[in-house]
Structure formats: C-alpha cells, structure tokens
Chain A
C-alpha cells in the first residue's frame, strides 16, 4: 500500500488545509532511465491516486513531414527503448514506517473505525441529537475504546525512561523505535478523547514527554539525549559525583518529573559505596534525604504507572495540603545546618539545585531544560501545577516559547500549539501535513468527540467542496490512498460508506474500475455491490464480464453473466445470432452446441422475445431428430405439435416459416396417416399464402433452401389436407 504520506510528499494532504495562501508547488523529480530525448509525455491515473506517466522518445511526424522523414527518425531510434511508463505515488510512504507495517495498521484500524461508526449510528438513531451534545458516559467509553485500539496498532506503550534492575548503571531503558505517529495520536487522545484526563492534564503531558522526548532528539538538544550521553559516561567512569554532567543530568531529569531516574542516579552517588561508611555519612544522609523527598513528591493524578515515583492525590485540596507540607520539608532541608558539614562541593551545590527546582525556581528550571516543551512541562510540574483550562495552558506555552524558542519547529510541537490554541484547523493541517490521510481520517473521530467547536468545523457542509464536510473529505482522501493498492482497496468502502454525500459516488467509481477477468476478484467486487445496494454498478460489472467472455469464445459464461446483468439487448442479439442455425439440417453437428446455448438462455422467454421462439424451435428440432433416428409415432406427433405452436406464435420470424415447413415435409407426408387435422393444415397453408404475398415486398429475405422447397411443401400440405379431410 502506498503508505499514508508525510509532509510535502503528499499533495492531497493540503486539500484539507484551510489556508488559502499559496505556499508554492512541491518540486520533485523522478528517474525514468530512458535515453534522451524525451519528446512527449502522457498521463493516466491508475488505482486510487497513483499516476502513470508515459514518456516517449519518438516524435509524432507533422503533416509536412514525409514518411521518409519518419522512417529516418524511426531508424535513428533503432536498438533503444522507445519510452517507458513510470508509476508515481503522489502520496508517498511515510519515512519512518514501511509499507508492510502501514498495511497492518490499515487493516487493524478499519474494524475499530467501522465499529465506532456503527455505534454512532445506533446512538444517533436512538437519541436524534448530535453526538457531542450527549452526556452519555458510555459514548466516551466507546471513543476511548476506539482510541486505545488504534493506539495499540501504532506500537507498544513505552515506559521511558525507567530504571533497570539488572544493571544499576543503566538508567535508560532500551526503548523500541518510537514513532511520531503514536506520539501524535496520544496527544490528540489526551486533549480530545480522554475525558477523565481533563482534571490532570499537566501530569498527562509529563507522561507524554517522558515517552516521546526521544523523538525530539532527532532535531533538538533534549534531556533524553543528555541522559544518553551521561549513561554512556557512567558505564566507564567511577566517582560520578565529581562529574558536573552527573548533576546536570539529575537536575534535568527532575525538572521534567522523571523521578525514578533521578532517584536511581542519586543512589549511584559515591557516598553509598561500602568503603565510604564512616567517612561521608552527612553527605550520604543529605543525598538520601533529597532522594526521599523526591520520591515522596505529591502529584495531582489518580495513579502512577510502573516505576513512577511520588504520592498521588486525586483532588486538589488534598494535593494542595500535601504540596504545602512537602514544600515545607524542602524549605526546612534547604535551611538545614548539615549543608555546612557536607565537604563535597559538587554534591552540596547539586543537591541544593535540586531543592530549588522542586521549589519552582524559574532560573534553575530554565537552566535544566533545553527546549520550550521541556521548560513548559517543568513549569506545569513545579510552578503552576494547578493550571486549568486551555487558555491558561496556552498562555503558559506562549511564554515558554518566547523564553526558550527552538530553531526548528518539530511537527509534533506545531500540533501541540494548535491543540493548546484550540485551533482545530491547525491541528488538522499539521496532522495531515505530517502524518497523512490515515491519521486525519481516524483522528477526526477524536476531534469531533471532544469539542463542539471542532465538531462544527469538521461536520459543516462546504460549498467549496461540493457540499462535502471536512470529515467526509478526509475519509474520501484516505479511501483513495487505500484504493491505490490491490491489497488494501477492499478497505476503502468502510470509509466511503460513512460519507453520506459523496462516498457512494466514489464507491461506484472504485468498484466499476476493478478488473473482471479473474473470477474470485469479480465475485468479491459483486459482493460489495450487493452489500451497498449498488445495483447499477453490479449490472455494469456483470455486463463487462459477460461481454469479455463472449468475445473470448466462452459463450456459456457470457450468457450466464449477461443474464445476471439482465442485459436484454445483448441477449436478444445473441438469440438473433442463434437464428442463423434455424433451418439448417437436423444432422448439423453444431446442433448440440447451440442447443446448449438455448438451454443457458433459460426458459424466461418473456425477458427476450427471440428466446421464446428459440425454445420452441429447440423442442421442435429435438423431436424431429428423434423422428429421423427412427423413433416412434409419438415423436412425430410431438414434432407436429411443436410445429403448429411455432407457426401460431407471433414471435416466430417470418423468414423461418418456409425452413420450418420444409423441415417438416416428412411429417406432413407421414405414412401411418395424417398428423395434422384440417384446421391445423389450413393454418399452415395460410402461412404459405402470406409468404407468397410477402415475397413481393422489397425487404423479403429469401431462405437458403433448394429451389423446389416451396413446391414440395405445398404438395406435402395438400397431401396431408386430403388425408385429413378423408379421416374427418
């Protein structure tokens, strides 16, 4: 599958951007390996949004050029390729995830998406009010269930950083490759979907940064990158407390709330070594006192996960009281006389810096963090833990950005600013630009669930989009990406069905453009048509299949599919072709073959006028064959009945009257007695009379019969009539 794209690789991404400013086209080159010159290009859209470009070396001769000129030009190209078709994925793969993983994500996310849509439809059907206005707790649970399921597809939840038991000098866990996609998804989940997290947003952000700070290391200096350096040094060097980087690492980790790392690092302090007992007791006591205070830090959150440290408080009053008490302990420790007795300068200053950080000293926090998100988190943790409301969080973020600007804005940070600024369009545009159509199509479910304003923006019909909503547009864009690959196109209907306006139109086009030559694929395609009541496309597909088989000599298959398509025009034309066999000798070898075709054409004569005749003619011919094979009088009698039926039937074409009668000469002169009564014979004679009148008309078609056919029929009829009169 062409992976949902990232960045400027995805032209469709910008469809969803609200900005009217022209940022200029993205220029990309593609290699075609055709020797120059290229004289002409041709374009064709393939599946979904794959573009095929034909490159030609040969120039079309102009009308003034002679054929000799053309021949010379042609000879000049001899021995080289004449050009090539190159397939361009206009929505290119994400740089961090390969195609196979994208397919897994695509398949994995389709079912939670469909389930959520079903639930949404049933809730709407029951309540008749917009989803966002529902105070239904159950609905939030559904959205979270969806979000968690999608989140789990994007990678395992990472507990970074965390302490390791086996090696005390390894402070960072080897994390699996973190994806920006997962980080982005979680960010949206925190702010839009998880209603329960609204009360402790700052702590949710602390956890989020702990998981994904490593992603920013690719473009920025981060605490994570610094800790990686320190860890590498710790493995080599002893006497850690003499190393300034050790104290920098501890204070940085503390500033962003990675308490378990801080405590682990503190316990690597040299004063804990067995050979130091009796020498550095005060120093060791201070280190341990700080470590205890850190591990007892009050936190406004319902619970801690894994190795996280601190004391949890679910409500603000309890938290506030505990925090005051804790800060009192910090202040008391800061003023303690034990610091004078601490002989190790770096330890004394390092520990006091940690206390200042915990007391919310801005300078210390600023010095310990490397970019605005880290600084922002440190402020939320130690300075303004009671920050509530998006406005407050946004204003704080703005201040942090001013104080610690980053040289290159990471895409996730752009998204975070958009979220804090409550600007749905920016969030969506960033989402689309960075993560592509998959992310947008799925994240909109969270955005619309979490905010009335977002819901309004995303579900408002837009005239400029031909009546589409942004929500629907993004589903269609994603469906087009899915349609680009034979292994994923079947997922596209799941997203199209949830686009009330234009989804079905797109689905019709998608299904119509699937190849019909392969039986399994054809059946699958028809199954979709049935599922979504697309009768018109259904019959088009069956007609295409029928015609393909007809032209390729598989007439039985062809008739089957044309009947399924109820294509009466074609079926009648086929019946017309079978007429050509009428009047041929009964011993004709093709009898069996066309008899089979008539059988296939079925007995539903009303659907096709010509078929009625053919069926009766088939029966007649069968009985006649039996007569010729020497079968009994019964066969002859049945043959005559069929003949009379045929001649009475108005759908029997006039041009076949004489051949039919000519075939029946033997029956008319049946040795065991007349098979036709007087009125039946008169009927046939009348037909013969009509035929002689018709002969005078210019459009009369002469049957391909021996010249004496007419006279032999007339004689046979006269014989039969005479004998019938005698018998009656």
Chain B
C-alpha cells in the first residue's frame, strides 16, 4: 500500500514536487536547496542529484515555477526574502542552479507565494507580512531575472479601506488551475493575521481591460467574523459548471462553490456547501487530486485525511491515513 520514494537530508524543512511529479525540491534549515531526480522516467525512486547553498539561514518553503518557464524554484527564506533559482547548463556541461532574482523588502516578510500564468505572461503573487499582496510580472520569458511589480493591494473586499500595522503570521495563496479555454487570471488568498478584514479569503481576478486586480468574491459567512485562514486550495475543474475552493480555518474546512460568471455588480456568486470538521487545531495543507473530486488534507493532528462527495453532493471524510514508524 505504501512505499518510500525519497529520503531527506537531515534538517530538511519543506519539499515540493514539480508539475509532473518527477522532480522534488527540498529546502533545509541550513539553506540548502536539494533536488531529487529519478534515474529512469518510469521509476518511483528518487535520489538527490544536486545540492545548492542558497541562503545562510533556513528555507521555509519552495515552489516550482510553471514548466513553460524552465526548471526553476522560488525559495521563501527565513529572513522574509524570496529568491528565484533556476537550473541551467551550457553546451555539454552538467546543469547547475543559479540565482536569478532576489525579492527583499525591509521589515516585510514574504509569507506565501504562487505562480500563475496565461498564454502571454507569468505572474507571481506574493503575500507579505504587512498584509499587502504584491503581484509581479515576468518581463522576458527567457530571463527569470526581469520582474516588474504590477500591483500592490491589501486583501480586503472594499478597496478603499486600508489597514495599517497588520501583523500576519501566515498566508495562503492558490491560483485557479490552468485550463485550455480559460485564460482567466484569478487566485484566492486568505490570511492568518490580527485584522479580521484581511483574514477572510477573497477571490481576486485580473481585469484585462483596465489592467487591475479586483476582488470578485469573499469566501466568508456572516458568522465567520474574520476567522484566521490557515490554508486555501482551488480545485482543478475538468468541466464542472462551477469552481470549488477549499478554505481551512479554526472552524474546519469549508468548501465553497464559486460561480463561473459574475452578476451585474461584477461579483461572483458563492455558496458554502459544507464545513468539514477535522485536524483538531490547525490545517497545514490541502491538496486536490487532478480530477478535483478528492481533497487530501493534513494538519496538526499528524494525520492525512481524504474527503469526497457522494452522488448526492454530500461531502464526507472518506479515509484517514495514520503515519507509523517501525524504527
């Protein structure tokens, strides 16, 4: 039922698989970015093929760049900076990882990032500890060094309000998964902060006509009171007439249906379809499978849970996996 596919170096803090689940990037407490590869494309045993020191402190998170832009990862560092590293090789030489870009802002830490792209551009959404979201755009698809700040805004539904002195401990960003007929640039973002208005998850959409980001939906019920959001996950949509977004807060995991088309006021109709209770305290991560029909979650209870809907649309906990160690 289970088998080990890779073993981490000691001090490893985070990991991320690339788009085809054939490469693994890990970050460690001593600033080492390690890349794991399989010798054979059909093999499911991965060994470390490269270790690069990218930072003196620790790497809190690694995120792969979409494969259309090469083999590259973004590392969120413990000092709040974000650095982009890519694998390059010259003729006949073995590949190595080089630094392309470092995003660093004084007194603001990057909490979470995700990449999203349309046919024309690659965008990087970074949620900062000051409660601001900054969207960067890649200027040259061949050069990961050239980024331009495209937008800067707070995660609030009313764009007039501004909240100063926000103290955010974590944030979670999830882009709408890419689809053929959908060139829409959209993401959902939730905060874990001391300001209720920032916390609730909002769906942001890029308005091509006016080149600006607009909040098109807020995924919160009247009783949520700006609950801190631990994680968000936008489900792949292989053809449903609505989107599904999972939002984890202290109350549990809420699943939201988000309409595909806006109402006259530009807002997307949303509906909370269920609230799943789980993971005792905090949800660490939520991952949808490729069909968008199964949600896998993990959290502070140390368990892995799978959630599914039955034919009547009722979501329930399908399976629980408990890690055990024979050593």
Contact = CB atoms under 8 A, between A and B. Distances in A.
Interface stretch (A46-54, A140-148, A150-158, A433-441): A46-54
Contact of B12 (A58, A73, A518): A58
B159 interface: no
Contact of B41 (A61, A521, A551): A521
Contacts of A31: 2, 324-326
Given A501-B239, A551-B71, A15 B310 contact: yes
A42 B298 contact: yes
21 contacts: A8-B319, A19-B310, A26-B320, A45-B287, A45-B290, A48-B290, A51-B296, A53-B323, A54-B8, A56-B8, A56-B15, A61-B58, A70-B57, A74-B10, A79-B10, A86-B323, A88-B321, A480-B291, A513-B21, A552-B95, A577-B142
A214 interface: no
Given A29-B321, A553-B92, A88 B21 contact: no
B182 to A, nearest CB: 10
Interface in A28-74: 28-36, 38, 40-49, 51-58, 60-61, 67, 70, 73-74
Given A77-B11, A548-B67, A552-B88, A502 B239 contact: yes
A590 to B, nearest CB: 12
B321 A30 contact: yes
Contacts of A470: 311
Interface string B67-81: 111110000001000
Interface string B28-72: 111000000000011010100000000001101000000111110
Interface string B285-301: 10111110110111000
A3 to B, nearest CB: 11
A570 interface: yes
Interface in B233-271: 236-242
Contacts of B87: 551-552
A74 B180 contact: no
Chain B interface residue bracket vs A: 35 or more
B90 interface: yes
A14 B325 contact: no
A84 B7 contact: yes
B86 A56 contact: no
B15 A85 contact: yes
Contacts of B3: 86-87
Contacts of A466: 237, 239-242
B285 A43 contact: yes
A402 interface: no
Contacts of B21: 44-47, 52, 513
Contacts of B14: 42, 56, 60
Given A14-B318, A513-B20, A49 B30 contact: no
Interface of B: 1-17, 19-22, 24, 28-30, 41-42, 44, 46, 57-58, 60, 67-71, 78, 86-93, 95, 120, 140-143, 178-180, 236-242, 284-285, 287-291, 293-294, 296-298, 302, 304-306, 308-314, 316-327
Interface in A1-27: 8-9, 11-12, 14-20, 22, 24-27
A550 interface: yes
Given A42-B285, A56-B14, 19 more contacts: A15-B311, A18-B310, A24-B317, A25-B319, A29-B322, A35-B327, A41-B302, A52-B5, A53-B321, A61-B29, A74-B10, A81-B7, A85-B6, A90-B319, A470-B311, A477-B291, A505-B238, A517-B22, A569-B141
A462 interface: yes
A411 to B, nearest CB: 19
A90 B187 CA distance: 29
Contacts of A569: 120, 141
A34 B179 contact: no
A137 interface: no
Top 9 nearest A-B pairs by Cβ distance? Answer: A466-B240, A505-B238, A464-B313, A502-B239, A30-B2, A82-B10, A82-B8, A82-B12, A83-B8
Nearest to B57: A67
A15 B293 contact: yes
Contacts of A423: none
A301 interface: no
A509 interface: yes
A265 interface: no
B114 to A, nearest CB: 15
Contact of B69 (A51, A84, A536, A547): A547
A56 B12 contact: yes
B318 A573 contact: no
User: Most chain-A CB neighbours within 10 Å: which of B178, B241, B323, B326?
Assistant: B323
A86 B4 contact: yes
A553 B90 contact: yes
A514 B19 CA distance: 8
The interface centre, meaning the residue of A55, A89, A470, A501 with most chain B CB atoms within 10 A of its CB, is A55
Interface of A: 8-9, 11-12, 14-20, 22, 24-36, 38, 40-49, 51-58, 60-61, 67, 70, 73-74, 77-90, 92, 462-467, 470, 476-477, 480, 483, 486-487, 501-502, 504-506, 508-510, 512-518, 521, 534, 536-537, 540, 543-544, 547-548, 550-553, 569-570, 573-574, 577
Contacts of A33: 4, 325-327
Contact of A36 (B86, B179, B304, B325): B325
Contacts of A17: 310-311
Contacts of B57: 67, 70
A55 B69 contact: no
Task: Classify the secondary structure of A's interface with B.
Answer: mixed
A509 B310 contact: no
Contacts of B284: 40-42
B311 A77 contact: no
A543 B41 contact: no
A486 B45 CA distance: 13
Given A17-B310, A42-B284, A90-B306, A27 B9 contact: no
Contact of A509 (B290, B313, B323): B290
A511 B317 CA distance: 29
Contacts of B285: 41-43
A592 B78 CA distance: 47
B91 A28 contact: no
Contact of B44 (A12, A36, A61, A87): A87
Contact of A486 (B2, B11, B42): B42
Contacts of B297: 43
Contacts of B311: 15-18, 462, 464-465, 470
B58 to A, nearest CB: 6
B242 A12 contact: no
A52 B17 contact: yes
Contacts of B241: 466-467
A28 B68 contact: no
Nearest to B322: A29
Contacts of A44: 16-17, 21, 287
A93 to B, nearest CB: 8
Nearest to A467: B241
A157 B242 CA distance: 48
Contacts of A48: 290
Nearest to A83: B8
A577 B7 CA distance: 41
B179 A505 contact: yes
A515 B309 CA distance: 31
A428 B142 CA distance: 52
Given A46-B21, A82-B10, A87 B5 contact: yes
A8 B289 CA distance: 19
B239 A505 contact: yes
Nearest to B30: A74
A548 B70 contact: yes
A502 B179 CA distance: 12
A551 B1 contact: no
A550 to B, nearest CB: 7
Contacts of B293: 12, 15, 476
Given A466-B239, A548-B71, A570-B142, A32 B324 contact: yes
A480 B290 contact: yes
